[in-house]
Amino acid sequence: MKAILLAQKGGPEILKITEVPEPTPGKGEVRVKLHYAGVNYAEILSRKGLYGWKPKNAYTPGMEGSGIIDAVGPGVDEIRLGQRVMVGTKFGCYAEKVVVPAHQAIPALDQFDMKESASFLVNYMTAWVALFEMAKVKPEETVLITAAAGGVGSAAVQLCAKLGCTVIGLASNQEKLEFIKNLGATYAINYKQTDYDQQIKKLTDGVDVVLEMVGGDIYKKNLNLLRFFGRIVVAGFASFNLKKWNPFSWYKTYKDLPRIDIATMSHKSIGIFAFHLGYLLKDIKRTMDCFFRLREFVSLHDIRPVIGKIFPLEHAADAHRYIESRKSMGKVLLKMD
């Protein structure tokens, strides 16, 4: 079968199609014939050798996808054959087929097509757990979302807008600002062309919750925007630009890392959280409980994933370049033949 196999770290050009043996499901596993795979920033870092949560080379990247179960291993009910599913995993979805534990092939929502199903798990679970499970966001609160036009950001805007929050989305150009507003944001602000923190202070008396996915000066400004009892959840680090061959980049990366200061936190009684969906998968019950609450909310409010751009699997390098260009909006997908 066709797959992308990474044997070394490098630029997007190393994402090339190769032929690999078709996987066979073992005990408690299922095999999914994938229709689409989601592309995530974590996979870009993994490709560069800068992501700790990756397997040893050689491996096939890809943390999520959608498709049909076409084989089951011992201990899995054959009734699952032919089932439409969403796949959440550590790696393996940049391929025509993937084998995962049966509980990581989750029945797709009836209202979603295959493209939407491949766009749901990582982005919406990240936004949901960060904001609803950890920050305990409330309808009357003001929520600031960084990188609001991206996959996780756009999911967060939709979820918080439907909850009834005042939503402030940050993005880098006018097209993205319009996109965020159309998703339901109350305010959309260009953080590059304005002193955005001062603009937010004019619009509000501060924010209650921040979904932080950038780091550096953006994180520091957002920390200062929090009201009393405010919460900030760090769920990404888009400013991460470590180059192992460049010692100067080591210092900048270290300096830009989000940090906590207990004394500063105590002055406003604020909370700082950090979240990584991959590690949560180890706790199956807690993960599924979160998913069921998310599924109920999404179904109740008729929320649909926003598809940005779709690339054929053989153009995975272009998909990575597109996300790294900071031009992407919504979810970027790979389509299998």
Residue 169 above 70 pLDDT? yes
Convert the pLDDT of each residue in 201-225 to its tens digit.
999 999 999 999 887 788 889 999 9
CATH 3.40.50.720 domain position(s) in the chain: 123-279
Question: Which has the higher per-residue pLDDT, 6 or 53?
Answer: 6
pTM: 0.90
| Class of 2-120+305-335 in CATH | alpha beta
Residue 265, pLDDT score:
66
Architecture of domain 123-279: 3-Layer(aba) Sandwich (3.40)
Q: Which pLDDT belongs to residue 214?
A: 82
Per-residue pLDDT at 237 exceeds 60: no
pLDDT of residue 326: 87
Residue 17 has pLDDT above 80, yes or no: yes
* pLDDT at position 248 over 50: no
**Would you say residue 129 has pLDDT above 70?**
yes
Name the segment(s) of the chain with CATH classification 3.90.180.10: 2-120+305-335
The pLDDT of 232-259, averaged and rounded, is: 55
Q: Note the pLDDT tens digit of each residue in 73-106.
A: 999 999 999 999 999 999 999 999 999 999 999 9
Instruction: Tell me the mean pLDDT in the region 9-37.
Output: 97
3-state secondary structure the chain: CEEECECCCCCHHHCCEEECCCCCCCCCEEEEEEEEEEECHHHHHHHCCCCCCCCCCCECCCCEEEEEEEEECCCCCHHHCCCEEEEECCCCCCECEEEEEHHHEEECCCCCCHHHHHCCHHHHHHHHHHHHHHCCCCCCCEEEECCCCCHHHHHHHHHHHHHCCEEEEEECCHHHHHHHHHHCCCEEEECCCCCHHHHHHHHCCCEEEEEECCCHHHHHHHHHHEEEEEEEEECCCCCCCCCCCCHHHHHHHHHHCCCCCHHHHHHHCCEEEECCHHHHCCCHHHHHHHHHHHHHHHHHCCCCCCEEEEEEHHHHHHHHHHHHCCCCCCEEEEECC
